[in-house]
Amino acid sequence: MPPQQLNLAANANGTTGGSEPELVMEEQAAEPACAICHKVEVAVGPVENRVTLQKCGQCRQVLYCSRDCQRAHWPRHKSDCAAPGSPPEIVFDRYCQTVDASPSKESGLEETINSVAKEFVCPITHELPTEPVTAEDGRIYDRKAILAWFEKNGEDGDPISPSTNTAMGTNLLPATQARNAIEALVKSGAIDGELATAWRQKLEDEKIVKELHAKAEAGDVEAMFDLGYAYDKAEHGLERDTEKARVWYEKSAAARHPKGLAYFGCFLLYGIDCHKDHALGLVNVTEAAHLGSDVGQLLLGKAFAKGLYGLSKDPVRARFWLEKTDWEEAKGLLQELGQ
């Protein structure tokens, strides 16, 4: 029932007539409210306190704040709502379309944001790109991903689009607006979950790699090794690239970085992205072992234990180096030597 107001009815002389004042019920203009609980629309304030009213899906006359209120009102409302001759189950289905087909403003906004986010997802990586570009097929891609795609699929002419499966050119345009939109949506929390987590991690990885490159190129020996290791082990979002790993290992080895010497020596011993050079490999590994590198100690101890790389078996020297490292492989070799 709408709110009412009690007024005193005054006579022409300004006084109330009779011994008792006459009560006149004067209705105020009713604010739109839910037909069951009488909640009114609340569009501001905390989300949990907001109320969104929706019209009956059949008659479009009565308002509800929730599906529960809508169902509770149906027994009283169905006679006014039903179109003549309509089967009750059809009328009720249409009636319930209010809640089922008319999402709240918040959920509608969420669906819109998710729809926008899907347009930004790279069709190759299935992630939000940190460096989005627009290709000739009209889709947005991660720059690294689409360039790798062109390299792999464009040997016999124009590459095939990963989105349309038709031939496409290789011109790319920076999608700056898409990049700004992605950043704003992620930072605001509008895009969350795995997409946002992966995007933040990619940004962090790119920042780390950029800093490592800057330090390594400025002569920081530790950064040289770390960058080589990142390429070697595919860390910080990098694809494994043994050529780049070897280059940075070699530079750190030239500066007598213990780990750099050991890993560069390993590359030489195994011929990883270079010709095998056991002599130079052993020189690097031996120096690494003397400087305290556990990898160098393991490699040198193993070489003496197995008689590898042109060395003769030497259990004494093998034990000397293997006992200095905690590698499980070293423990296994020591057990073999003790038999």
Per DSSP, helices labelled H in the chain are: 67-81, 88-95, 97-101, 105-120, 143-153, 176-188, 193-217, 221-233, 242-254, 258-270, 278-290, 294-306, 315-322, 328-338
Average pLDDT over residues 227-237: 95
Q: In 3D, which of 124, 165, 169 has the Cα closest to residue 148?
A: 124
Burial of 39 from C-beta contacts in 10 A (0-12 / 13-18 / 19+): middle
Among 7-21, 167-181, 322-336, which is the least confidently predicted range?
7-21
Q: Which uninterrupted H or E stretch holds 173?
A: strand 173-174
What would the pLDDT profile of 18-76 be if each residue is shown by its tens digit?
A: 444 444 444 445 678 888 888 888 776 665 667 888 887 667 788 888 877 887 787 77
The residue to which tokens 């490292």 are assigned: 325
Burial of 176 from C-beta contacts in 10 A (0-12 / 13-18 / 19+): exposed
Paired tokens of 109: 């906004």
The residue to which tokens 């939109």 are assigned: 181
Residue-level pLDDT at 112 = 61
Domains, the chain: 31-101 (no CATH), 105-188 (3.30.40.10), 193-338 (1.25.40.10)
Four-CA torsion 175, 176, 178, 179, nearest 10 degrees = 120
Four-CA torsion 128, 134, 137, 143, nearest 10 degrees = -60
Separation between Cα atoms, residue 95 and residue 62, nearest integer Å: 10
Separation between Cα atoms, residue 246 and residue 243, nearest integer Å: 5
Residue-level pLDDT at 11 = 39
Provide the β-strand partners of residue 6.
25
List CB contacts of 277: < 8 A, sequence separation 6 or more.
268, 269
Residue-level pLDDT at 193 = 82
